[in-house]
Structure 1
Amino acid sequence: MHKLIYILLSCITLGLISCEQYIDITPTGKKTVDSTATYYDLIVLPNRCYYPSAFALLSDNTWAKESNIIGNEFISWDGINMTFNEAADRKELSDNNLYANCYSYILRSNIVISLIDESLGNPELKEVAKAEARIFRAWDHFILINTFAKAYNPATAATDGGVAIMDKYDLEVVPVKSTVAEVYDFIIRDIEEALPYLQENPSNVYHPSKAFGYALAAKVYLFHHDWEKAKNAAEESLKLKSDLIDYVALENNGGPLSDNTYAKGGNPEVLNYAYMGSYSDNPTYCYGMISPELVQLFGENDTRFTMFFRTTGNSPYYFDEGSGAALWNSSITYSKFQYMAVGMRTAEVYLILAEAKARLNDLDGAMQALCDLRVKRIKGEEAVPPQPSTKEEMVRLVVDERRKELLFGFNRFWDLKRLNTEPEYAKTQTRRFPLVSTEVPSQTYTLAPDSRLYVIPFPKDARTKNPNLTLNTDE
């Protein structure tokens, strides 16, 4: 019991300290470790951070400064991933705490789910708290399964190695690795049990709303190939929250440097607060360089590029001039515009709806959902492209839009993995590197759709502590 009290108070203290500059969540009156309100506060974690270093440069959206890669092709995640080096030994590398962070967040959720019923307080608040904890527990398991295992494939998921499911508070348990199918079943069950109890307007933005719950359901169903359920969940989320920032109008108003309406806490698209590597969430310093291929995909009239990226005038410490890549504008930071690279936004829900409708062969509906977003992002007639005539073409159009809208973080890496399970959408990545330096010869590197690099090995310390964690790759 003393160990639990220490964990509980430590978790709450960290959450409150991180949060106090944004919101006062401490209720008046006496609180004890046995109160329902204490457990409910434990759900709040404003500085949820997820580090993409183990896989960021496996994405065709991302680029790197050449000097950070040359000479590191066998010894760092960036060097290995930029050169698609399957001969390198990844087993000894740290994942920069992504694995540990996810399970520490799951522990917080499990403390609430397992123990709140014995606390003193409002029974209705207990149900809300358990629902919110289940949604976050599902979110963190979803991150783990899509990073450290193969993508969900209906033909192989029942036998593909997954991750350990942590479904209750138990400090003594030694987890056993489940299959990909079992982990998805667990995630879906958590979400479906939570949805009826989530609030439309929680007490503060760090508690998950019903709109986020449905958005996460839509994302999970999409990855699980449940197209009808993905469509329905996306529609339910958008009924509750459908805000889209008009980037075109924002650019006409001088952009974020002139209009900081959407700075920290002001972005109406944000559904949950989760950060890429640091609380400031400034992509300049955390894989904020996009590839020459993506630069060309944007074109000249897409405000997502023209407002937020620079191809010249960047600091040479972070950027190679002449590479054809582009770097996030360092002056547009968290204090000017809150992008939210990891947390879900309403823009993603429109894209999930568009893809789900395309998969169901509702091409008109898919086009409408897609253009609802594009008209807020792209200037002129390009905002409404010609409608594809086949399901496959429509899906590819949506996927290209996902590349441009859901930058950084996890999304493109996960999309490549899931789409690579379908021959009609699989992609063999190719990149020429280096493009500027003459220190080493330029080469063309390729990454096959079934490459083992797409499955990140469990961290060494996790494998050492738990022999049940056998690798999901052939390394």
Structure 2
Amino acid sequence: MKKISYIAMVLGSSLLLPACQDQLDLQPISQTVVGGSGTGTAGSTITNAATAEAALAGSYAIFKNGSAEYYVMDYFILGDGQSDNSYAGADNAAWFEVDEYRILSTNAVAARDWQYLYNHVASANSIIANVPTVTDASLSADRKAQIVGEAKFIRARAYFDLVRIYGDVPLVVDELPTITSENVDEIYGQLYPARSTAEEVYAQIIKDLDEAGTAVPKTGPNKMTATPGAVYTLATKVYATRKDWAKVKEHADKVIALGYTLMPNFEDLWDGKHENSAEAIFELNFEDWATGGNWGSSMFYGTDWKKFNTPSNDLIKAYDDEKDVVRKASTIFTANVTGKWSDKYWALTKFPFAYKMRNTDASQNIIMYRLADVLLLKAEALNETGDLAGARTLVNRIRTRAKLPVTTAGDQAAMRLAIEKERRLELAFEGQRWYDLVRTGRVVPVMEAAKDGSGNSLNYKLTDTRLLWPVPQGEIDKNTNLKQNNGY
């Protein structure tokens, strides 16, 4: 496995070196900075218990600050706007490219999300590399292990998105010292790495999660803590992507055994009155603008300007065909926007908005992982391994909460489609749909079948070469060892 080193850089600036005559203007691939000094690595500031805890807090804060544009906005447009759940909406040309499968290697969103995710990798790497070396007696061995485990979860989570979005990516897992004119020849090749294979990246993700599962704290002050539930949920999703159904069942059962329960009412998940609920497993907590407020809600909901992730005709038809009144009401809001903007898909008198993030005062939490997702993944695993009855039981648990009759799926093929539909209606606008369709091999036929409100084909020209985003051209320009994905 390629293990490529991480170099500390100050975000948005050239590499800082201790002596003016030694400064080198190197802009290595994939690496951004989350702190550090010009005289060592980013982790050189981790020297005692307080700085170790501060580094971990800083890594969590990246969900809300350093890479917020990805976690509160891009994550959801990528997962839903790229699928049949929604149109890109708004007026951003880069997102129109994504929505219509004509993305270019110079796409601004592809470039920034690459950097945002590697920024999170960098923060985790410095913790993993440096916290074990702290000798401060007030930082116990158990707490060191917890901190490193939490960082490994954060790193695995970022790499899971990177490998699903871009495919083969550089695998950055170590730190380097500050680069000077004296050592540049020695480590130059590591600054400009080739892409590791997706298999190698997945192997590292699984290794991180295996090591994190027994190390992370059992609980935290809120659900924005990498606990065993969060680790095992991510592992469940990774193994579902890999189609390792035995491992999906194993890790889903680990999550279920931890005591999470479905909220009795679907609306409870989104009304802002039940944050960090019994169903939530990993949740980004937001309070106000001063502490990294969630501005993403205003990107999806409101009539002051045309928002992103406009619900598709196809999604609303899916709710209506299923007579799914409960989940539709919590997922989609409509308003009269006559005179405010134009739209080629919807009448302005009843214009739809994504509704699960609806509080625009900065306090809207984001549920990244929850029990219903895990139950449906286990149902999928049971169905794929011949346990139709077990799959049906789990699907019906989800449908019962939505006040729907039991599933009529009578064989494995029908149950596959029933689970696909259930995941769509349950998890719409939670950033899941695109990845579900890709991992099940259903994305091309599903998108080819997508229609507008009049029943006309949307004529999406999606091919297998467009299931991955391009490696950002700016990264290739800096690193000739990077090769572009096919089709770009």
TM-score, normalised with respect to structure 2: 0.74
Residue 458 of structure 1: how far off its partner (Å) = 1.7
**Shift of residue 216 of structure 1?**
0.7
Give 1:166's aligned amino acid.
V
Shift in Å, 1:139: 0.6
Whether 2:389 is the aligned partner of 1:364: answer: yes
SS in 1 for 2:107: coil
1:167 is matched with which residue?
Answer: 173
1:213 to 208, 222, 231: 231
Partner Cα separation in structure 2 for residue 345 and residue 105 of structure 1: 22
Name the residue aligned to 1:427.
446
**What amino acid sits opposite 2:376 in the alignment?**
L
**Alignment map for 1:25-424 (pairs within 5 Å):** 33-44=46-57, 45-46=60-61, 48=63, 49=68, 50=70, 51-52=74-75, 57-65=81-89, 68=91, 76-85=93-102, 90-95=104-109, 97-119=112-134, 120=136, 121-149=139-167, 162-170=168-176, 173-247=191-265, 256=271, 260-262=272-274, 265-274=275-284, 279-282=294-297, 283-284=300-301, 287-299=308-320, 300-314=323-337, 317=340, 320=343, 321-322=346-347, 326-329=352-355, 332-333=358-359, 338=364, 340=366, 343-376=368-401, 378-379=402-403, 382-386=404-408, 388-408=409-429, 410-420=431-441
Q: Deviations over 1:13-35 (max 9, x none)?
A: 9xxxxxxxxxxxxxxxxxx8411
Q: What's the CA shift for 1:243? A: 2.6
**Structure 2 residue aligned with 1:155:** none
Q: Whole-Å Cα distance in 2 between the matches of residues 137 and 164 of structure 1?
A: 13
| Separation (CA, whole Å) in 2 of partners of 1:315 and 1:84 | 29
Using the alignment, how far apart are the partners of 1:232 and 1:78 within structure 2? Answer: 38
Pick closer, same or farther for the CA change 1:344–1:105 going to 2, 3 Å: same
Question: Is the contact between residue 285 and residue 366 of structure 2 (CA under 8 Å) also seen in structure 1?
Answer: yes
Q: Give, in angstroms, the shift of residue 457 of structure 1.
A: 0.9
Greater fraction helix: 2
Partners of 2:238 and 2:383 in 1: CA distance:
17
Counterpart of 2:146, as a letter, is V
Match of 1:167, SS state, is strand
Contact 1:214/1:236 (8 A) holds in 2: yes
Distance 2:309 2:411 in 1: 34
Which residue of structure 2 aligns with residue 26 of structure 1?
none
**Counterpart residue type for residue 415 of structure 2:** M
Q: Which letter maps to 2:407?
A: P
Query: Counterpart of 1:344 in 2: which secondary structure?
Result: strand
Distance 1:47-1:372 versus aligned 2 partners, 3 A rule = farther
> For the residues of structure 2 that align with 1:411 and 1:55, how far apart are their CA atoms?
5
| Percent of residue pairs identical | 20
1:451 pairs with 2:471: no
8 Å CA contact retained: 1:419, 1:426: no
Gaps of 5+ in 1: 14-31, 70-75, 150-161, 437-441
**How many pairs are equivalent?**
410
Q: What SS does the corresponding residue of 2:366 show, helix, strand or coil?
A: coil
The 2-side partners of 1:249 and 1:344 are apart by: 16
Q: Tell me the CA shift for residue 224 of structure 1.
A: 0.8
Q: Per-residue deviation at 1:110?
A: 0.5
Q: What's the secondary structure of 1:310's corresponding residue?
A: strand
1:371, distance to aligned residue in structure 2 (A):
2.0
Q: CA offset at residue 204 of structure 1?
A: 4.7
Q: Distance between the aligned counterparts of 1:241 and 1:389, measured in 2?
A: 30
TM-score (norm 1): 0.76
Deviation at 1:268, TM superposition (A): 3.8
Match of 1:427, as an amino acid? V
Q: After TM superposition, give the deviation of residue 115 of structure 1 in Å.
A: 0.8
Code of the residue aligned with 1:419 in structure 2: it is T
Query: Structure 2: 5+ residue runs without aligned partners?
Result: 1-6, 12-32, 37-44, 180-190, 287-291
TM-align CA RMSD: 3.6
SS in 1 for 2:256: helix
Does the 8 Å CA contact 1:420/1:427 hold for their aligned counterparts? no
Q: Give the aligned residue type for 1:228.
A: A
